[in-house]
A and B are shown apart, each in its own frame.
Chain A
Amino acid sequence: MNLTNTLEIQETFPDIADEMLKAQTKDVNLYYKDFHALKNINFAIKANTVTALIGPSGCGKSTFLRLFNRMNDLISGVKITGDVLLEGENIYKKGIVVDELRKSVGMVFQKPNPFPKSIYENVAYGLRVNGYDHKDSIDEIVERSLKQAALWDEVKDKLKKSAYELSGGQQQRLCIARALAIEPSLILMDEPASALDPLSTSKIEELIYDLKNKYTIVIVTHNMQQAGRVSDYTAFFYLGELIEYDKTKTMFINPQNIKTQNYITGRFG
């Protein structure tokens, strides 16, 4: 089912009221020079859920994810049309301050990318660049964020140590803690477990599940099982188009589109 407007989204998810939508896109097109990378995407993200974006590589899912914190702006030659709403406000309208927007949208990247600083300073970074400098409250937030990221017990005795002394999985949880510290209203995760071993991956997945209570999460993944395990909703992208978007359970049991079916069953991808 190709969703072309918000009305259809409402029809698909009658249980979603407007105020429950964390973010929305309306007729979004993205061009990279001559390449039409995202084609007329209409999409909605429900608050306090995990939404998975799946599809073969190059389908535009990562580009779509980066719409919500305007990371695509960093690439020259990108042109975007349509509206992207975050809590009802168009984040591409004039007068939006990009770094202010990014403060309210956290992001976790494919490979763990902690700064070459101490564990403490990594988590405090977002606070510092946004002008918080009250030491006690920073201490408090760092501790809270590390606890939320299920990392506190492992690092509480070595906060001053370099983040590079942590294992890959710990580093990725540190990056999640770093994103949580600025209390984002939306968290974007770009294949957050793809560079990790199975054990670390399952820890990250548990974490994502726990965070749902407080945050809204969009996760890009190429791992079907992962999408099935952690997400409430799943969207399937193909060649820059949103092919199908539904509750994860529905989509995995009974995909509407033959392309979705082929992808989920592993016939291409």
Chain B
Amino acid sequence: MMSFIHKRIKQKIAFSIFGLISMIVVGILFVILGFIIFRGISVINWGFLTKMPEEGMTKGGIFPAIVGTLCLIAGSMIFAFPIGVLSAIYLNEYLKENWLKKFMRSMTNNLAGIPSIVFGLFGMALFVNKLKFGDSILAGSLTLGLLALPVIIRTTEEALKSVPDHLRIGSYALGATKLQTIRRVVLPIAAPNIITGLILSISRVSGETAPILFTVAAYFLPKLPHSMFDQAMALPYHLYVLTTSGTNMEASRPMAYGTAFVLIMIVLIANLLANVFRRYFGKKNKMN
């Protein structure tokens, strides 16, 4: 009898501790988000979002950094999204279980595990120096695109896997070719989840700093880029500069809070959007 009470008390204590720890983990997130939102929101106004930085980046806004980040998002996705989706289709729909598939899969996994700073080094060696793009939006976009590739491939593959096989077989049975089956049956069902992957990789790309350090990012450039061969400012690098190497770090602190706020908002909105997408279309698919 004693042992019964003993083990039940043990369970109660363990579960309470584990619950508490989980709440701490959630708490950490809310502390970080709360802190940045609370400090940042007072900085945010129309001028902050649409003006050039002024007076050694202690006044004005972050407009060029926003534009730069948007350019990088667009540039990297134009490159990575099609290649990623096509690779995933090839891996999941075309390749049989053989050495090639194993090789490609393990390469994709390895690519996902490479630290972002190594991508930065690679981007500098190949795009900036070898291909002579110089520090440019093009070089930065390509580097970020490579980083996003494994993310897009993985989410797309999962989306494709969630399409039940009997639908494919049904389509073949009606005389459809492989391509027709993919286009008319598989992709429409997988589309919401593929888009979710796209949104999440946009969120990822917008916050990466290390890969753009040596490929595109400008310390201070109070004008907008004119072509993809121009340098550009970017939000994450701007935040780094403001906090660690600005000319007057104390005075530019509010600017830093504002920049962090904008970054956090991009991530929050992207995550929210992805979740809504997943839930809304997930349900719709289930009902069909």
Contact = CB atoms under 8 A, between A and B. Distances in A.
Interface of A: 97, 99-100, 129-131
Nearest to B7: A131
Interface in B1-48: 2-4, 6-8
Contacts of A99: 4, 7-8
Given A97-B4, A97-B8, 7 more contacts: A99-B4, A99-B7, A99-B8, A129-B7, A130-B3, A131-B3, A131-B7
Contacts of A97: 4, 8
Contacts of A131: 2-4, 6-7
Nearest to B1: A100
Nearest to A98: B8
B259 to A, nearest CB: 45
Interface residues of B, number: 6
A95 B74 CA distance: 62
A5 B8 CA distance: 36
Contacts of A130: 3-4, 7
Contacts of B2: 131
A77 to B, nearest CB: 18
Q: Which 9 A-B pairs have the closest CB atoms?
A: A131-B3, A100-B4, A130-B3, A97-B4, A131-B7, A131-B6, A97-B8, A99-B4, A129-B7
SS of B interface (majority): helix
Nearest to A133: B3
B5 to A, nearest CB: 9
Most chain B CB within a 10 A radius of its CB, from A97, A129, A131: A131
A100 B4 CA distance: 7
Interface of B: 2-4, 6-8
A39 to B, nearest CB: 30
B47 to A, nearest CB: 53
Contacts of B7: 99, 129-131
A35 B8 CA distance: 33
9 contacts: A97-B4, A99-B4, A100-B4, A129-B7, A130-B4, A131-B3, A131-B4, A131-B6, A131-B7
Nearest to A129: B7
A99 B12 CA distance: 14
A129 B6 CA distance: 11
Contacts of B8: 97, 99
A97 B3 CA distance: 13
A100 B7 CA distance: 11
A97 B12 CA distance: 14
A131 B2 CA distance: 9
Contacts of B4: 97, 99-100, 130-131
B61 to A, nearest CB: 52
B11 to A, nearest CB: 9
A99 B5 CA distance: 11
A18 to B, nearest CB: 27
A131 B6 CA distance: 9
B4 to A, nearest CB: 5
Nearest to B3: A131
A124 to B, nearest CB: 15
A158 to B, nearest CB: 30
A129 B3 CA distance: 9
Nearest to A131: B3
Contacts of A129: 7
Most chain A CB within a 10 A radius of its CB, from B2, B4, B6: B4
A129 B7 CA distance: 8
B3 to A, nearest CB: 3
Contacts of B6: 131
A129 B10 CA distance: 12
A266 B110 CA distance: 57
A37 B145 CA distance: 54
Nearest to B5: A97
Nearest to A130: B3
B12 to A, nearest CB: 12
A131 B5 CA distance: 10
Nearest to B11: A99
Nearest to B6: A131
Nearest to B2: A131
A162 to B, nearest CB: 26
A100 B6 CA distance: 12
A130 B3 CA distance: 7
B252 to A, nearest CB: 53
A131 B9 CA distance: 13
A129 B2 CA distance: 13
B7 to A, nearest CB: 7
Contacts of B3: 130-131
B203 to A, nearest CB: 33
A129 B8 CA distance: 11
A131 B3 CA distance: 5
Nearest to A100: B4
A132 to B, nearest CB: 8
A100 B3 CA distance: 10
Nearest to B4: A100
A99 B8 CA distance: 9
Contacts of A100: 4
A100 B5 CA distance: 10
